[in-house]
Amino acid sequence: MSASLELWRAASPVPIPRIYRPRDVWSRNLGLLARPPLAAGEALWLDPCGSIHTWGLDRALDAVFLDGQHRVLAVRADVRPWRIALAPRGTRSVLELPAGAAAGFQPGATVQLARLRQPPAGTSQK
């Protein structure tokens, strides 16, 4: 894990044991372009973020749009490469997941996010 990422997890409505949250604007703007594909049980949390795009990606993803209280506003499944997924009104952040992983998320559900202990600076977990 790079020093520009925080490690989080989600307990509900769908457990996600590893959520990577970019800490700076540069890392957030690069998103999934700057890292290996997400594995099962992983997500990228872009906060703040509105609409997303998959320009330059070679794989589809699922996007879960959250408001400021982490309520699910919308789920966009199987966003293929070179597409844009527009955020619904009120979006504060987006969880990007591997394609098919957002099936259990429903609008109105609240995602319970918890920050995990940070590794020492300069160490890598992935």
3-state per-residue secondary structure call for the chain = CCCCEEEEEECCCCCEEEEEEECCHHHHHHHHHHCCCCCCCEEEEECCCCCEECCCCCCCEEEEEECCCCEEEEEEEEECCCCEECCCCCCCEEEEEECCCCCCCCCCCECCEEECCCCCCCCCCC
Is 13 within the bounds of a domain? Answer: yes
Q: Give the range of the structural domain holding residue 35, as residue numbers without chain letter.
A: 5-107
Is 66 within the bounds of a domain? Answer: yes
Global pTM?
Answer: 0.85
pLDDT tens, position by position, 52-92 = 999 999 999 999 999 999 999 999 999 999 999 999 999 99
Is 124 within the bounds of a domain? Answer: no
Count: domains in the chain: 1
pLDDT tens, position by position, 12-60 = 778 899 999 988 888 888 888 878 899 999 999 999 998 999 999 999 9
Is 119 within the bounds of a domain? Answer: no
CATH code assigned at 71:
2.60.120.1140
